[in-house]
Amino acid sequence: VVNRSLGNILRCLVRDNIRSWDQRLCQAEFAHNTAVGRATGFSPFQIVYGVQPRGPCDLAPLPSSGLTDPRASDLVAELLKTHTAARARLESSTAAYKRAADSRRRHVEFEVGDFVWAVLTKDRFPAHEFNKLAARKIGPVEVVEKINPNAYRLRLPSHIRTSDVFNVKHLVPFAGDNSEEDETGSDSRPNPSQPGEDDGDETAIAFPRVSEDLKDALSTFQQTFVVSDATKPDYPIMYASAGFFNMTGYTSKEVIGRNCRFLQGKDTDPDDVAKIREALRYGFTYCGRLLNYKKGGTPFWNLLTIAPIKDETGNVLKYIGMQVEVSKHTEGIKEKMTRPNGLPESLIRYDARQKEIASNTVTELVEAGEVQYFIGVQLDGSQHVEPLHNCIPEATAAESAKLVKTTAENVDVAVRELPDANTKPEDLWKNHSKIVHPKPHRRNSPSWDAIQKILDGGEEIGLKHFKPIKPLGSGDTGSVHLVELCGTGQLFAMKAMDKGIILNRNKVHRACAEREILDMLDHPFLPALYASFQTKTHICLITDYCPGGELFLLLDKQRTKVLKEDAVKFYAAEVIVALEYLHCQGIIYRDLKPENVLLQDDGHISLTDFDLSCLTSCKPQLLIPEINEKKRNQKGQKGQQAPVFMAEPMRASNSFVGTEEYIAPEIITGAGHTSAVDWWALGILLYEMLYGYTPFRGKTRQKTFANVLHKDLKFPRNKEVSLQAKQLMYRLLHRDPKNRLGSREGANEVKQHPFFRGINWALVRCMNPPTLDSPLFKEKETDADPGLDDLQKNVF
């Protein structure tokens, strides 16, 4: 029973006979729903429906005593006895609870007419749980009625739709000073060099500062931004980038520990400031133009973007304010007029683009900060003044402090793996201009024959040889399109990646690694690379076209959004064979998910998207199984069992990569990971195919990560799944990678699980695809695709 009051009633009813709880549950629910609250004067049922519920006696009056069945009389007597005893227990329990609550109650009382601050609790204001910059209190508001020393009725603003009765523990006296008023901010610009503010006064408030290791990690970001502490009054700045000091003229001593309000001046628009306060109060992100002043008094236009950072429970810890000076792009006229997109007419188009860039960039900074906080690298130094109530436990923080340096380096892999600064721009893409040679198993395919004819003619494969047909998908660095090799009728998938975006996001190494990995593959369940080339703006990879689309879309097409077990077994078996080949090549896939499992024209799978894969080394081994003499004698076996082939990548990685719902615990903790992360992802994939969703999905990224680390694996009872399938998922989703299925003997260990009994692993590629509720292929669509114009304009 979740409700505490209902649980208390039920306990009092069944104390004499615990096994009768299922019979008493309806009585407990009726009693709970009809109990009138002292503060509101209404029962829960009345609050929802407006009237009290009608009981059995209201619907069917009791017969006269002369016609009463003796058994009915006995039942009534028993109920009266039970209810009398339960009432006495409830009164005793309530009195004990009141004594305990009174002993912890704050000894403060308010009178009618007093003004107080009302704390916004998560149960009463659930939206504030996810609004990262929302205010923690509202007020001051007036007390209009004293119900009792513990409950007060307040005069709330009209826009707040909740009960106006508050417990005393959620009320804070309003002293009439400016302590709370400062939280919303004043428009004044105090002199930063005032004595006593930053002169080393020992009595001054000590603000938490960023550790040196984390400061080094933050300094790799080239943007101008500040990090403020949302847990302190007035949101003091705890870190500012070098660009901020260059833009404003202030020094670190003049900035750290203060609110950004000191940049405002006499001509700063109060309406703009009000919008910022409103965004902070109600939990909105903010992006807009603001007139600020440099230290010397020079005004400048500041494109300000504010975004929050929360912990794993959703509480706001920090927020990032990114700032871009846009003075030279501001004309200074038509200041009060706005365009249809909401931007002032005094901003030219460049500023509109800059606003989009600012929003995207601050999101990247926030995501990096979220990961840092979650895995223990908090934005607080060793001189933390007071512990946060919702921080990571001290034991966890102390343990993770040992890994601060390596974790800070690995939070954003792109920062750590920047291309060589001395490399010429044209040398970054030289690998993509190399000729691709056919592999043994695909050499005689029609696709390779068509490609080979062009190569034999002395030409290099380029963009001119392909005709665009339609877009297939898009990613963060480019898009994938269906193309035809001109004059041949052969279809291919072309992945075109924008060089500028790759450079800006520091993903050159990933693009090169993906090309190198694709050139190594020669397997029926993996794509073949036919060509790679570059244009002035893009690099292109030509691979197999899979007309069946994504496994994710196939799941979505099914009526129940799940697959039957025989279909799950078929697709999982082929994924295992593909992973076995990758691991044998020294490749850790690291991005297994339904979106990356494509379906070929014959219904078999093909893994795709290797930009997150890690290329290491592999040393294949033959493992001799241990002989169990007792079992061998029972089964009459003679001789030794056949040796087991095992090939798993040898080197571990510390990179923080993957899709959050499929990411393994060891990646989150930063402890280093091996190919065992692929077997974890296989367990998540099995769960999603069988149940329609992933097991550790949370409302926020931090909640998902917390679930991955701590939440128990549960199997819903409303869907029939075999015991063997549950056991397989349980063993694949073991949080300790050393004990995870597949970690000791590789893919062979997974293959031997009873769930795959009946699979002929040597002939998996010859298996017939399963029959699906919704067919894999439908009639061809003839509608024009608008994405084709973008491809022809941007790439061709």
E-state strands within 418-488: 466-474, 478-485
Range among 72-86, 93-107, 502-516, 680-694 with highest mean pLDDT value: 680-694
Q: How confident is the model at residue 642 (pLDDT cuts 50, 70, 90)?
A: low
Same domain, 656 and 702: yes
Nearest to 370 by CA among 332, 320, 435: 320
Looking at the structure, tell me whether residues 534 and 559 fall in a common domain. Answer: no
Looking at residue 422, its pLDDT comes to 44
- pLDDT tier, 572 (very low <50, low <70, confident <90, very high otherwise): very high
DSSP E strands, 631-673: 644-646
Choose the final residue of a domain: 515, 547, 579.
Answer: 547
Q: Is residue 417 part of a domain?
A: no
Average pLDDT of the segment spanning 200-218: 43
Question: Are 308 and 212 in the same domain?
Answer: yes
Question: Taking 60 as the threshold, does the pLDDT of residue 38 lie above it?
Answer: yes
pLDDT per residue over 293-317, tens digit each?
998 888 888 888 888 776 556 677 7
Element at 442 (helix H, strand E) = none
Residue 741 sits in a domain of what CATH number? Answer: 1.10.510.10
Output 498 or 284, whichever has higher pLDDT: 498
- Highest-confidence range of 96-100, 182-186, 333-337, 597-601, by mean pLDDT? 597-601
581 vs 278: which has the higher pLDDT: 581
Nearest residue to 189 (alpha-carbon basis) of 323, 291, 307, 288 = 291
Q: Is 225 exposed, middle or buried, given 0-12, 13-18 or 19+ CB atoms closer than 10 A?
A: buried
Please name the helix (run of DSSP H) or strand (run of DSSP E) that holds residue 153, with its range, or none: strand 151-155
252 with 356, same domain: the answer is yes
Does 12 have pLDDT greater than 70? yes
For position 518, what pLDDT does the model report? 94
First to last CA, the chain: 63
As a whole number of angstroms, the distance between CA 541 and CA 497 comes to: 9
Residue 515 is predicted with a pLDDT of: 93
**648 in any annotated domain:** yes
> Shortest CA distance to 62 belongs to which of 51, 72, 48?
72
pLDDT-derived band at 565, boundaries 50, 70, 90: very high
Catalytic residue list contains 311: no
Alpha-carbon gap, residue 311 to 374, rounded angstroms = 7
Mean pLDDT of the chain: 74
Q: Which helix (H) or strand (E) holds 427?
A: none
Task: Please state, in angstroms and rounded to a whole number, the distance separating the CA atoms of residues 170 and 235.
Answer: 22
| Section 331-340 average pLDDT | 51
Residues 384 and 506 in one domain: no
Looking at the 3D structure of the chain, how many domains does it have? 5
Residue 18 has pLDDT above 90, yes or no: no
d(CA 189, CA 266): 9
pLDDT-based confidence at residue 355 (cuts at 50, 70, 90): low
Note every long-range contact of 611-614, with CB atoms under 8 Å and residues 24 or more positions apart, other chains counting: 611/477, 611/507, 611/510, 611/511, 611/513, 611/514, 612/510, 612/657, 612/658, 613/513, 613/514, 613/517, 613/582, 613/587, 613/588, 613/589, 614/513, 614/587, 614/588, 614/590, 614/649, 614/653, 614/655
658 in helix, strand or coil? Answer: coil
Alpha-carbon distance values, 272 to 264, 267, 290, 302 (Å): 11, 11, 7, 11
Is residue 254 within 8 Å of 198, Cβ to Cβ? Answer: yes
Same domain, 26 and 128: no
CB 483, CB 466: distance < 8 Å: yes
Which residue ranges are tagged as binding site for ATP? Answer: 495
* Calpha distance 208→238 (Å, rounded): 6
pLDDT over 90 (residue 22): no
What per-residue confidence (pLDDT) applies to 373?
A: 36
119 belongs to a structural domain: yes
Domain shared by 160 and 217, yes or no: no
Confidence of residue 399 (pLDDT cuts 50, 70, 90): very low
Q: With a cut of 50, say whether residue 790 has pLDDT above it.
A: yes
pLDDT class for 407, splitting at 50, 70, 90? very low
pLDDT band at 213 (very low <50, low <70, confident <90, very high): very low
Range from 19-33, 137-151, 160-174, 304-318 carrying the lowest mean pLDDT = 304-318
Is 757 part of any domain? yes
**Residue bearing the bigger pLDDT, 319 or 449:** 449
Distance CA 456, CA 451 (A): 9
746 pLDDT above the threshold of 80: yes
- Indicate if 387 and 371 belong to the same structural domain: yes
| Confidence (pLDDT) at 227 | 83
336/611: higher pLDDT: 611
Which of 399, 433, 466 terminates a domain? The answer is 399
pLDDT for 685 beyond 90 = yes
Q: In what order do the strands lie in the sheet with 137-148?
A: 165-167, 151-155, 137-148, 115-119, 171-173
The answer to whether residue 6 scores a pLDDT higher than 80 is no
Whether residue 65 lies inside any domain: the answer is: no
Assess whether pLDDT exceeds 50 at residue 456.
yes
pLDDT at 516: 92
Q: Which of 455-459, 472-476, 737-741 has the lowest mean pLDDT?
A: 472-476
Cα–Cα distances in Å, from 39 out to 80, 105, 109, 149, 166?
28, 17, 16, 11, 9
Q: Is residue 351 part of a domain?
A: yes
Q: Is pLDDT at 177 greater than 60 in this prediction?
A: no
Is 721's pLDDT higher than 90? Answer: yes
Containing domain of residue 261, as a range?
185-190+207-399
pLDDT (mean) for 26-37: 81
Do residues 119 and 136 touch, judged by C-beta distance below 8 A?
yes
Residue 117 has pLDDT above 80, yes or no: yes
pLDDT of res. 360: 57
Q: Taking Cα atoms as reference points, which of 672, 590, 655, 666 lies closest to residue 415? A: 655
Which range, 56-65, 87-96, 348-357, 546-555, is most confident?
Answer: 546-555
- 369 and 304 part of one domain: yes
Tell me the C-alpha distance between 82 and 86, whole Å.
6
Residues 6+ apart with CB under 8 A from 221: 241, 365, 368, 415
> Are 226 and 338 in a shared domain?
yes
The predicted model scores a pTM of 0.50
Q: Is residue 584 part of a domain?
A: yes
Give phi and psi for 690, each to the nearest 5: -90, -35
Selection from 51-65, 84-98, 382-396, 557-571 with the highest mean pLDDT: 557-571
When pLDDT is cut at 50, 70 and 90, the band that residue 508 belongs to is: confident
Q: What is the distance between the alpha carbons of residues 285 and 276, in angstroms, rounded to a whole number?
A: 9
Q: 229, 412, 544, 591: which is the annotated catalytic residue? A: 591
Per-residue pLDDT at 362: 55
Which of 399, 417, 440 lies at the terminal end of a domain, its last residue?
Answer: 399
- Looking at the domain assignment, is residue 409 inside a domain? no
- The binding site consists of 495
261, pLDDT greater than 50: yes
413 pLDDT above the threshold of 60? no
As beta bridge partners, residue 299 has 293
Residue 606 corresponds to which tokens in the numbers above? 């093909």
Instruction: Residue 309: give its domain's CATH number.
Output: 3.30.450.20
Whether pLDDT at 457 is above 70: yes
Residue 70 scores a pLDDT above 90: no
| Tokens (6 digits) for 737 | 């990678």
- Same domain, yes or no: 687 and 583: yes
Say yes or no: 146 and 232 in one domain: no
Greater confidence (693 vs 132) lies with 693
